[in-house]
Chains A and B, each alone.
Chain A
Amino acid sequence: MDATTHAGHLHKVHSEVHHDHELNFWQKYIFSTDHKIIGIQYGFIALLFLFFGFCLMMMMRWSIAYPDQPLPLVGGLLRAILGAEVMPEVKNAAGQVLGYAMGPDLYNAFGAMHGTIMVFLAIVPLAFAAFGNYVVPLQIGAPDMAFPRVNMASFQCFFLGGVVMFASFFIPGGAAKSGWTSYSPLATVAERAYLFNGQTFWIIGMVLLITSSLLGAVNFIATIIQLRAPGMTWMRMPFIVWAQFVTAFLLLLAFPPLEAAGIMQLMDNLAGTSFFLPSGLMLGGTTPMPISGGGSPLLWQHLFWFLGHPEVYVLILPAMGIVAEIISNNTRKPIWGYKSLVYSILAIGFLSFIVWAHHMYLTGMGTKISTFFQTTTMIISIPSVIILTCLFISLWGGSIRFNTQMLFVLAFLPMFGIGGLTGLPLGFNFADLHLHDTYYVIAHFHYVVAPGTIFALFAGIYHWYPKITGRFMNEFWGKVHFWLSLIFMNLIFQPMFLQGMAGMIRRMYNGGATYAGAPGLETDAWWTSVPFLKSLMYSILSSPDGSGLPKWVLDMNKDISYAAWFLGLAQIPFIINFFWSIRNGKKVSSDNPWDATTIEWQAPTPPPHGNFTKPVEVHRGPYEYSVPGHAHDFTPQTQSEKDAKTHAGTPH
């Protein structure tokens, strides 16, 4: 590595931040107003929830592959914690208890909470709040966020929301069971037995999370508008700052309608109103429920998806920002089409507010409305494709450094591409009639979020880890983590496209066994002994006769489940690497170990409270790599033209 004065030697932080010694542990790490600590807090909690949400799914995959069979390892534990009624006994012919299976109610609760946790407690806090908090103020040369105490309140609301969501598993009746979308009237009538039921906890948790993201969004936008360092003009901002800026606007404006909807659903649950309950609604009988009626189930869906679709872009835009940073840094080239990226992401921001009803083609809202939303949905794919194309072209002619973060980013591009392109058939209302609510949909959005966003987030962790801790994560185990994750992610989600197209619908605790019927293909060819290949060959060779799900569709459940459990094992290298490297990783030799251009690498490692030891002045754009005539293949944003040409050190 180039460790000349140009790259900047390692700052001696401790002598400069003596005032930090006055803070005790609680002030410094728990009730901190420092954007970097808050970012780390967000990141840590979000990673825990990411793991927890994945564990829920690994247990659900057992029920899908082996319905009503004893859940291994944790069956007894779940029965002890969550109660006998949700974990029924499984007996053999002799009446002997073999173990405890996952009941349908528990599957529903896990399914609803998997979605809720992954979206609102894992990905958004990690992509937006954690990376945004840590990176954005540093990259624009600000000492902190515009409102540090509001920032702390934002984290505390998030934490409280997480506690409420987590606690809901242990209350009588269990956690919310009506899907992460909580459609009414199901969500209102599903758990009438308890007043403060899982759904009520869900709404209260959501209100806390929405408050948290509101405070965060206001803070981010105000910070980016007000606290850019001298010389940091709008078009000199790194792309990730733009991405977080647009994301913050989406959170600011799209979340309140869900909060309004949550308040109304809470009224339906607790005050007996009928916002979302139609007249004449009957529940398990022939007598209408004792309610006024007159409400509209569609109203909930409109309000939910008015948040829900911008939320998709909240999940993906920060990931695109991370990808742009890492591509530019590791190809040693400016990003191709910076301005196109910026204008595209602004266009996505606007358009994402007028596509929401493409989630509702099957509600009978009418062909005219469907056509409108189908059109806007096709239009929004244009800026997305521009962004992806720019990122692909950025690779052209670069001498690429294949470190772990770059591998994750290189995988992000095709994975996100698959996720995006498979969304087009869902955006057309006639194709959606067939695919709606099938495993095809699950595969589609997981390709966007799991090997898409999560890969970008992993890349971001490997990339900024040296700035945060002063040490590198282990490269070898990073690459093991990458290759295993890539393989198993695809083995999980690729077969789901086939299952979905064969007609297998979502949210069935027994993985479609109820609808089994079409005869299997009887053969003893060699490929029947190879998992995955077997299912793939069956899917090609057998033709569904319309009498139910073919056998290969159900067989695939087992393949997918094994892939999911192996993906879980594949995260072990990451988890160990992550904690081990904090104390034992290779130390960085400079403040700028990746030879990057953006300003966060000019700050001391780790940056002290207040970030920079000298006033920051910005002289150039964010991606000036390999500029002809400059002394090095990277020119930091803070470097003047004269210094860049004459080998003079970066001011620090």
Chain B
Amino acid sequence: MEIPFVAKARPDTGLYNAKVGIWLFLASEVMLFGAIFSAYILLRVGADPGTWPHGLLNIPIGTFNTAVLITSSVTVVLGWSALKMGNFAAYRKYQAVTILCALGFLGIKTFEYREKFGHYEVWLKNPITVKHGDKDVQTDRLLGHIDYKGAHPLFWKTATLAGAPEVKDKSGKVVKAAVPPVESFKFEPDPYHYTMSSKEIYEAKKHAAGQPHTPIEIKSADVKRLSAFVPAHGTYFAIYFTLTALHGLHVLVGALVIAYIWGPGAKMWRTNPEQYMNRVEVSGLFWHFVDLVWIFLFPVLYLL
């Protein structure tokens, strides 16, 4: 039994099966990402005025990553058109660049994530005075980095300060040693807070550039809440991590599919070149979609 129109297009629709399939799949993906984008709109509109974080993401790195993805989109098309011209060697080269770009993107994203996990916001019980640019400001909310016993810890939260009792298994053996509570820690405050306007943040950052950090000592007893820039920090980072992780998953799967077609799946080029070109085209369509999501995602999360 053979399924018709696997390789050749059906005359009256002008499409082969997989092309119909991928467009339908992408329509479904639009609804998936669309739902999260609309959640973003609803949460942002519903946030108390002035509380929606901005200016916390690394824009130069994000821009560079955008360029990396756009490059990969170009090489996908170049690879496919090279294949259409029968130039398998050129296709291999272009698609290799695509796969490298995908891995590069994921690598940079991992670095960006790690940077966030060690960046904190502290809510204090009583306001203190810190420098925002050249101004002295009274505030109970600080952004910055924790310096605890010479290290910059990741993933601290309010509960971390209380320490942890030792954990025993059923036989009474100690599985995890007790963690002593944190009495106080050093904190390197940033010279801005996201409740300021973009212009104020820009000026405060410019003024503070090149000046050394002056760490302050914070007593755990004074801390109302402590959170790294992780999903639990607030709805902004919740949506940032959900959206970028879901996108990252798509990048990973797309790269795996393209790599499979490029590597072990390339045998088909000799046995059934028409269907092979279809596969390259369909995986390319998916790749463009993944890029397109990022093109929306970048301004919405980084710039607005």
Interface residues of A (CB under 8 A from B): 143-144, 146-148, 150, 214, 217-219, 221-222, 225-227, 252-257, 259-261, 263-264, 267, 271-275, 290-292, 294-296, 298-299, 302-303, 306, 609-610
Contact = CB atoms under 8 A, between A and B. Distances in A.
B39 A260 contact: yes
Interface stretch (B18-26, B215-223, B255-263, B268-276): B18-26
Contacts of B233: 292
Interface in B93-151: none
Contact of B20 (A214, A221, A267, A290): A221
Given A222-B21, A253-B31, A256-B28, A296 B4 contact: no
Q: Across chains A and B, which 6 residue pairs bring their CB atoms closest together, nearest first?
A: A610-B1, A272-B232, A260-B35, A257-B35, A256-B32, A273-B238
A259 B29 CA distance: 11
A274 B234 contact: yes
Contact of A256 (B3, B35, B48, B227): B35
Interface of B: 1-5, 10, 13, 15-18, 20-21, 24-25, 27-29, 31-36, 39, 42-43, 46-48, 51, 158-159, 227, 230-235, 238-239, 242, 246
A146 B20 contact: yes
A295 B43 CA distance: 6
Given A214-B28, A222-B20, A226-B17, A294 B35 contact: no
Contacts of B33: 260
Contact of A252 (B17, B27, B235): B27
> What's the dominant secondary structure at chain B's contact region?
helix
Contacts of B227: 292
Contacts of B24: 217-218, 221-222, 252
B32 A259 contact: yes
Contacts of A272: 231-232
Contact of A226 (B13, B238, B246): B13
Nearest to B51: A294
Nearest to A221: B24
Contacts of B231: 267, 271-273
Contact of A295 (B3, B27, B235): B235
B42 A292 contact: no
A302 B43 CA distance: 13
B3 A275 contact: no
A257 B31 contact: yes
Contacts of A150: 21
B46 A256 contact: no
Contacts of B20: 146, 221-222, 225-226
Nearest to A298: B42
Contact of A303 (B3, B39, B48): B39
B29 A264 contact: no
B17 A147 contact: yes
Q: Is the interface of A mostly helix, strand, loop or mixed?
A: helix
A150 B18 CA distance: 11
Given A218-B21, A226-B15, 9 more contacts: A146-B20, A218-B25, A226-B13, A253-B27, A257-B31, A275-B238, A294-B235, A299-B43, A609-B1
A444 to B, nearest CB: 28
A263 B246 contact: yes
A285 B158 CA distance: 20
A303 B35 CA distance: 7
Given A147-B17, A221-B20, A253 B3 contact: no
B13 A257 contact: no
Contacts of A303: 35, 39
Contact of A294 (B5, B31, B43): B43
A140 to B, nearest CB: 12
Nearest to B242: A267
Nearest to B239: A275
Nearest to B235: A294
Nearest to A266: B242
Nearest to A271: B231
A273 B21 contact: no
Contact of B21 (A146, A259, A306, A610): A146
B236 to A, nearest CB: 9
A227 B1 contact: no
Name the residue in A259, A260, A295 with the highest tally of chain B Cβ atoms < 10 Å from its Cβ. Answer: A260
A260 B15 contact: no
Contact of B28 (A148, A252, A290): A252
Contacts of A147: 17-18, 21
A558 to B, nearest CB: 44
Contacts of B246: 263
B43 A146 contact: no
Nearest to A291: B232
Contacts of B27: 252-253
B158 A290 contact: yes
A611 to B, nearest CB: 8
Nearest to B6: A146
Contact of B39 (A226, A271, A299): A299
Interface centre among B2, B24, B46 (most CB of A within 10 A): B24
A289 to B, nearest CB: 12
A272 B234 CA distance: 9
A248 B47 CA distance: 37
Contacts of A256: 28-29, 31-32, 34-35
B3 A143 contact: yes
Identify the interface centre among B18, B32, B47: most chain A CB within 10 Å of its CB. B32
Contacts of B158: 290
A306 B35 contact: yes
B238 A144 contact: no
A264 B242 contact: yes
B5 A226 contact: yes
A610 B1 CA distance: 5
